[in-house]
Amino acid sequence: MIDNSVATDDTEHDGGRAPGAFLLIGLLLVAAFVVILNETILSVALTTLMVDLDISAATAQWLTSGFLLTMAIVIPTTGFILQRFALRAIYIAAMSMFSGGTVIAALAPGFEILLTGRIVQAVGTALMIPLLMTTILNLVPERSRGKTMGLVSIVISVAPAVGSTISGLILQSLSWRAMFWIVLPFAVLALVLGAVFIRNVTEPRKAHLDYVSVPLAALGFGGLVFGLSSIGESASGHAPIPPWVSLTAGAAALALFVVRQLKLVDRGRALLDLRTFAVGPFRLAVILMACLMLSLFGALIILPMYLQNVLGKDVLTTGLVLLPGGLVMGLLAPFVGALFDRWGARPLVLPGTIALSIGCWILATLDENSSIALVITAHVIVSAGISCGLTPLMTSALGSLPPELYSHGSATVSTVQQVAGAAGTALFITMMTRGTESALGEGAHPVTAAADGVHTAFLVAAVLSLVLIVAAAMVRSPKQTIPAEEGDPLTKVSH
């Protein structure tokens, strides 16, 4: 429920947003960018960490996979948290957890403590993403949501994309610990500014926490992410647990979770209200978003390996090569959001998926002799395609829900994105590993074999992108039940 005494204090509006709402959303966007940046900031640093901490590649990968695993476990509970607690309290808790985790990681003497710090960071990140999206849905009118969700797309897609660039720049002259020390002041500043300026714009209401649903969600989503993250390790013979065990346990727990939520929803006690999937535009948009996030994280994990292991580039060059794609995402997102407000989703999503497919087919041609210019061009095309699709899909999905499902819709979208990110990492690494081992078995040179593995991974992505184009052609924009020019701009919703 909106606390109108707070939300409507400002009577003037800028682009459909009250000035107070603009400040609030701005703070949330900056804070979210800082926390999401850490999802991929270690991707380029894994080789350095393996040497400094004396760990294997399979172990080092869990510094990223563990982050995604934690988020997949925590995010399903945020639907309850956002209803039960005030916005300001959730924000302070999220940024405090993230800042504390950053300190732990920076001071970590070994792998175990570093992983602990990453897990604490991930808890704060998991709270921040649904908080941002739910606040926007509550404060921003339909006619301006595309522009604002474009800014969210910058946070969700660009922050992971530039994480590799930032880490490459830092590692060129500083230690891996500097990545956390440099982030810490920004996290603390966001915490202080939020504590001073953020006011509650939602009214907490009584909500019940089903104590059976929580472990089912943790085992279900966590098991899937753990299993997906282990597939790549299994292909190289390093998985601690066979992936099928985690995937089977996760799927079974998730099935029980779904059944229980459907039983509890009529009593208003569901941990995650799955009625969101009864809304057609939401269901299709979430599936397409999952595919886009799968492509994004898959590319972000494979391209650094290709640049370093096949082309022999250093961490700084690797980071700089990935920078143009991240910048394209950031520059396009606001324009895509504005175009969505005017045209709707389909005219943007369909060209976006076509661009993504073209980029994937170019990436599938990479070998040990490919030029840096070709890599940058392909990555920019993929990034542009993802940017054209992500904002319209996110806005269309959440905008199609009634207001009582906003918090659950945000939690669902965020959960699916994390599982898709883990799936993309697992799928691409598995295909790359199998392609590499097959080439080595045929007597290929190690560099040539690594290039063959990259080719296999991107070829699979290119084929899947064709299916994505067909699905994108079915996207429709949700209809507005209240004209954008009428009613209270802070309380209009779409169905």
> What CATH number did the domain enclosing 456 receive?
1.20.1250.20
> Does 292 reside within a domain?
yes
Q: Whole-model pTM above 0.75? A: no
Both structure tokens of 2: 């909106």
Query: Are 278 and 264 in a shared domain?
Result: no
Query: Are 326 and 226 in a shared domain?
Result: no
Query: Are 194 and 79 in a shared domain?
Result: yes
Query: Are 218 and 197 in a shared domain?
Result: no
Query: Are 318 and 385 in a shared domain?
Result: yes
343, 452 contact by CB (below 8 A): no
Query: Are 83 and 188 in a shared domain?
Result: yes
Last residue of a domain, one of 219, 244, 270: 270
Both structure tokens of 176: 């891996």
Range of the domain at 88: 19-206
Query: Are 470 and 344 in a shared domain?
Result: yes
Query: Are 197 and 120 in a shared domain?
Result: yes
What radius of gyration do the chain's Cα atoms show? 22
The residues, ordered by sequence, that sit 6+ positions from 182 with a Cβ below 8 Å of its Cβ are 170
What does pLDDT average to in each consecutive run of 10 residues of the chain (495 residues)?
Answer: 39 44 82 81 76 77 77 80 85 94 94 94 87 79 72 72 76 87 92 84 73 86 76 62 85 91 81 85 88 78 85 83 83 82 84 92 91 93 88 83 82 80 76 84 87 89 88 70 35 34
> Does 492 reside within a domain?
no
Helices and strands counted in the chain (H then E): 19, 0
DSSP, collapsed to helix, strand or coil, labels residue 2 as: strand
Using alpha carbons, select from 419, 464, 22, 495 the residue that is nearest to residue 221.
419
Both structure tokens of 433: 């590993």
Domain count, the chain: 3
Query: Are 152 and 215 in a shared domain?
Result: no
Query: Are 199 and 298 in a shared domain?
Result: no
326, 154 contact by CB (below 8 A): no
Total residue count of the chain as it appears in this document:
495
Residue 180 has a pLDDT of 92
Query: Are 156 and 176 in a shared domain?
Result: yes
The residues, ordered by sequence, that sit 6+ positions from 259 with a Cβ below 8 Å of its Cβ are none
Alpha-helical segments (H) within 140-207: 142-153, 159-171, 177-197
The Cα–Cα gap between 404 and 203 comes to 12
Query: Are 128 and 228 in a shared domain?
Result: no
